[in-house]
Structure formats: C-alpha cells, structure tokens
C-alpha cells in the first residue's frame, strides 16, 4: 500500500505530501515521520494529538539534538548503528544530519565502517531496509514490488553479496552496501530518498563463518550457481522492467565474472551500470586527469602499472586505454603503456587464465623480451616495476603494504612526480599509506586512496591525499541519466563525468596534492556530473533534447534538499 503521494497545490504552488497513514503508523514510517516537528495542525488532522510532547521543534533543533546523541557513541560501529536507527525513524532528519557533517559521517555510513558493519550485520540488525529477493520468492517478484509503500521507484542498487568491498562473500549481510550507496545517492546526488530502493539477491553463501553462525539471517545453503542463478537474475531484471520501466539499476559488489556478465548482458536492455567497474574506473580517471594537468603531462607520456585485475582494476585500465585512444594512440600503442598484473603476474597474450575484458590489456610477448626477471617462469610486480619503468602505480588488491618502500623508490627514479593510487578498502587493506609515498618521493608524489587518511605536514607544506571515492561519480551519473531520461548509460557518459570532476579541483587544492574535489563540494560536483551526462546523452541521441540552460535548471531542481514539507490527510481508500 502506498503511504503518501507527492503533490503540488495548483492554487498556491505549495509542495505537500498527501498522507494515507494516521497516528502511530505515521510515526513509524521513516519517509514520513517528523517526530517533534509535526505542526499543531498536522497533529490534529493526522491523528497525532496526544502522541507527542507539547514542544514543536525545527529541523535544525532536531539535528542539534541528534548530533549530541551521535557524539556520545564510543566507536565507529556504534555510530553506524545510531545513524542506521535514525534513518529508520526519520529520513529527513538523517539526511539533514549527514549533509551537515558530511566529512565526518561518510566514513561511518559507507567506507570504511560499512565493511565492519557488514561483517556483523546479522548481529546488529535492528530494522530491515529494502527488499530481499531469493530463489524461494522470485516467482512473487511482481507482488513484492507492488507491495512497496513508497510512491515511486526510480533508482535501485542491487547486490548478491558475493564480493563485498575487500571482504569477500558476506551473503545477505552485504545488504549494508546497497543501503549505504542509496544514502550517498541522496546525500551527494540529491536523489529523493522516497524513490530509491536497495535490494539484496540472497542466493546463499559459501562463507563457512556465516553458514555456521546461528545468528546469520540469510539463506543458509551454498550459493546458487550456473543456469539457476542466471535464471533468477533474468527474472529479477524482467520484474524491474515490468514494475519500474524508467528506473536506473546499479549493479554493486558482484563477483568479477558475474559482474562483467551482468553488465554486458543487460546494459542495452535496461538503464543500468556497474559502479565497481565503471564508477571506480571513472573516478580514478578523474584523479589522473588532475595529476596530468598539474604535471603538464599527457596520458601518453606516462606508463601505468595496475595491480589487481578484478572489476575495479579492469575498469580503471579500460578508462586509461580510452583516454590514450582519445589522445590519438592506436590500440597497440595504448597497450604498450599499460602493464596489468594479476594473481598470475603480468598479463601476457596467450595466457590461458586471461578472461574476457583482460584480453586486450595483455602485453604481447615481444614487449617483455630481454627483461631481467627474478624467476623466468613468472613476471611479478617487482619485475614489472624494475623493467617497465612505470610513472603511475595503481593498486586494487586488498593487499596491505603491496607497494613497498623499494617499489615506491624504484618508481620515483623514472619521474619526478609519480602518481600512486592505493585504492583498496577498508583502510587496513590499503596497498600503502600516503605517508609512505611522500617519504619515498620527498613529498612530490601524488596520492589517492580508497579510504580517508589524515593530512601530513611535510617541510612546511600540508600534504593531503584525495579519497578516490566513487561518490564523486555514481550519484551524478544516476541523477543525470534519470533527469534526461536516457535509454542507457554509455562509456562516453562516464568519460564526460571524469572531465567534469577534474575541473572542480582548484589551484589551491592542487598545491596540497589533491586530485579530486573536497567532500564539502559534493552536491555541486554531482550537479556538474549530472549536467555532463545529460549533455552526452542528448548529443548521442539517447536523452531529452534540452538546451544547456534548461538542462542545468532541471538538474538543480531535481536535487532534493532535506527539509520538511507540509502534510495533508488523504483518503485511505486511495492509498493504493
């Protein structure tokens, strides 16, 4: 049953919610609950008289009260639990608090703390958000979707929990990731929370810790595989298309082969993208664009070593390759500048372990002839750095300390200002710390990391590593695709998004070593990304034919601001 409808008064132009709940039910609805901020009139007309204390608070007063309670929490997991509880009680207040303290709270609601929360989700579960699709209920997907209380669904974030951050298979405990991503869509992009839906495809788990945990709340059997799994995903996508034909579907934290298969299979059939592949690649590309601008270098002047060729590493390599080709290089010339390293070492053509998108990234055998190797049967990272003379190191391996002092110093021999992107999450999985890079390069190296690190004083300068957070990309891409009503999301849209982000970095920020904008500007960055995506969609014939002024106006108008609007009682018989 729908609990409310967003409406506009034709006489006054006032936006309001027509509400179909009353009394305690209204207070229990996180989309609608204002708690002490319900006006005297609303309390009388919506059956709340006597259920609330006399005082009527403003949203600002409520936010002060909530922040005071937040400050009493003793560790990050307790802060996560508190914010999750607040979101379950009052979404407007939650997002007001989050936006007011973005730098402080993003690491709590998302990386790195969300990883810790997912590891313990069945032990800290309070209330459920989103929906869980399983092999046992997939046949009822239409009834499940039609039973949602929110008025619209425009944006879905879905995971099957198999590759949660750098933590592996967490089954349905991985639902913390779609919930967190939705929070970032709202806080950063301005997508209205009432149109967002997190989903878990609970298809079992192969994690023995979860299977043996008596408190685990997910399906307690091995993961569904093969044709049965693919059939479930197909039914899920068809259910989304039937019930929410204009919705954007974001694939999140699937295992590598599943992720690439889903992306390839559905990107032309439904408005969708994979943030781990495309979002990570686009964010990293934006950071590299800024570094090139500061160095006054071209992409083709650099040599890239990328370690960890899963979704993120492959996505980054594909984006660098696209940029090299935009600069005029051929496929062969681009390949000569990218050295991709995975579990088997450097990817070489003819390797039987090469998979799908890795094939065009593999080096030809002639490129490594004459290399001095520690072991002639294996070309490891140390060999690649010693022989390829990289100027850019990128790590997405979840192997802490992988970029050792020796590797960093060897890289620094071949460029005055090396670029190091140590992108693994959470913090303790990072390939190296920013401090290690600055010590190895006398403060000249550029650094971006997956999780936040504190600034460092170095010889009278303040150095700061950027957090290479997909939050700079996916909220704006999603907002832009939705407002321009694009039929699909293309690689060109992500390229446009990268360029828009890089232009936001100011000369003052560049002097500190920042490669990405500061978090305080995230709403403006997301609007710029959405605008760039809308332009690309329009110019490629996939989106609305809006001139730039109109497109910019619509993007700004679409960004929801956490604020209370008035409620008017609606007829309960119209609730569905």
Residues catalogued as catalytic: 110, 181
- Determine how many CB atoms are found less than 10 A away from the CB of residue 559: 20
Instruction: Answer whether 490's CB lies under 8 Å from 536's CB.
Output: yes
* Structure tokens given for 425: 């999450």
Secondary structure of residue 6 in the 3-state scheme: strand
Characterise 401 by phi-psi region: left (phi > 0), alpha (psi -120 to 50), beta (else).
Answer: left
Instruction: Answer whether 233's CB lies under 8 Å from 201's CB.
Output: yes
E strand spans, 396-496: 419-422, 446-449, 456-458, 461-463, 466-467
Q: Please report, in angstroms and rounded to a whole number, the separation of the first and last CA atoms in the chain.
A: 5
- Determine how many CB atoms are found less than 10 A away from the CB of residue 537: 27
Q: What is the DSSP string of 131-148?
A: EEE-TTTGGGHHHHHHT-
**Crossing angle, helix 76-89 and helix 91-100, to 10 degrees?**
140
Instruction: Answer whether 205's CB lies under 8 Å from 211's CB.
Output: yes
For CA atoms 469, 474, 475, 476, give the dihedral sign: positive
Closest CA to 463 of 436, 428, 435: 435
Tally of CA atoms within 13 A in the half-sphere of 574 that contains its CB: 9
Closest CA to 489 of 498, 478, 500: 478
The burial class, CB within 10 Å (0-12 / 13-18 / 19+), for 451 is buried
- Asked whether the bond before 426 is cis by omega within 30 degrees of 0, the reply is yes
Closest CA to 250 of 443, 19, 482: 482
Instruction: Answer whether 509's CB lies under 8 Å from 560's CB.
Output: no
Cβ partners under 8 Å of residue 155, min gap 6: 182, 185, 191, 195, 196, 197, 247, 248, 250, 478, 482
E strand spans, 185-328: 196-201, 248-251, 272-274, 304-307
Tokens 């032309």 sit on residue = 268
Measured between alpha carbons, how far is 160 from 138 in angstroms, rounded to an integer? 14
């Amino acid at each position: 049953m729908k609990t409310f409808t967003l409406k506009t008064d034709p006489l006054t132009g006032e936006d309001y919610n027509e509400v179909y709940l009353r009394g305690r039910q209204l207070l229990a609805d996180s989309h609608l609950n204002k708690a002490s901020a319900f006006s005297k009139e609303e309390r009388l007309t919506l059956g709340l008289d006597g259920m609330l204390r006399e005082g009527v608070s403003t949203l600002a007063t409520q936010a002060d009260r909530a922040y005071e309670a937040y400050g009493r929490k003793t560790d990050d997991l307790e802060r996560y639990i508190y914010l999750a509880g607040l979101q379950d009680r009052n979404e407007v207040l939650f997002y007001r608090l989050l936006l007011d303290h973005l730098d402080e709270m993003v690491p709590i609601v998302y990386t790195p703390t969300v990883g810790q929360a997912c590891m313990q989700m069945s032990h800290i579960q309070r209330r459920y958000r989103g929906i869980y699709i399983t092999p046992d209920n997939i046949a009822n997907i239409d009834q499940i979707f039609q039973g949602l209380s929110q008025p619209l669904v425009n944006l879905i974030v879905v995971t099957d929990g198999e590759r949660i951050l750098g933590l592996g298979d967490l089954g349905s405990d991985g639902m913390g990731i779609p919930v967190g991503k939705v929070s970032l869509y709202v806080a950063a992009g301005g997508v209205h929370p009432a149109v967002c839906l997190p989903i878990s495809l609970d298809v079992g788990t192969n994690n023995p810790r979860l299977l043996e945990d008596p408190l685990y709340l997910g399906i307690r059997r091995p993961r569904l595989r093969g044709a049965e799994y693919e059939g479930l995903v197909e039914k899920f996508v068809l259910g989304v298309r039937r019930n929410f034909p204009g919705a954007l579907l974001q694939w999140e934290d699937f295992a590598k082969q599943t992720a690439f298969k889903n992306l390839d299979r559905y990107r032309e059939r439904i408005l969708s993208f994979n943030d781990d592949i495309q979002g990570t690649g686009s964010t990293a590309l934006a950071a590299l664009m800024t570094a090139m601008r500061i160095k006054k270098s071209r992409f083709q002047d650099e040599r890239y070593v990328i370690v960890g060729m899963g979704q993120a590493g492959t996505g980054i390599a594909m984006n660098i390759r696209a940029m090299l080709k935009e600069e005029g290089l051929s496929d062969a010339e681009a390949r000569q500048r990218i050295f991709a390293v995975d579990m088997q070492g450097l990817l070489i053509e003819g390797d039987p372990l090469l998979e799908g998108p890795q094939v065009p990234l593999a080096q030809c055998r002639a490129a490594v002839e004459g290399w001095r190797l520690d072991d002639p049967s294996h070309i490891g990272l140390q060999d690649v750095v010693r022989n390829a003379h990289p100027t850019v190191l990128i790590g997405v391996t979840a192997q802490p300390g992988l970029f050792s002092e020796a590797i960093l110093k060897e890289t620094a021999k071949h460029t005055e200002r090396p670029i190091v992107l140590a992108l693994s999450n959470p913090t303790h999985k990072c390939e190296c710390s920013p401090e290690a890079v600055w010590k190895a390069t006398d403060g000249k190296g550029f650094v971006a990391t997956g999780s936040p690190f504190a600034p460092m004083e170095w010889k009278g300068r303040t150095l700061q590593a950027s957090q290479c957070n997909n939050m700079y990309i996916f909220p704006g891409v999603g907002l832009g695709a939705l407002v321009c009503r694009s039929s699909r999301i293309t690689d060109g849209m992500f390229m446009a998004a990268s360029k828009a982000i890089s232009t936001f970095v100011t000369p003052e920020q560049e002097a500190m070593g920042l490669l990405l904008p500061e978090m305080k500007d995230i709403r403006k960055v997301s609007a710029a990304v959405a605008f760039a995506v809308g332009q690309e969609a329009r110019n490629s014939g996939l989106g609305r034919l809006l001139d730039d002024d109109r497109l910019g106006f619509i993007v700004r108008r679409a960004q929801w601001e956490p604020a209370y609007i008035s409620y008017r009682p609606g007829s309960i018989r119209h609730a569905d």
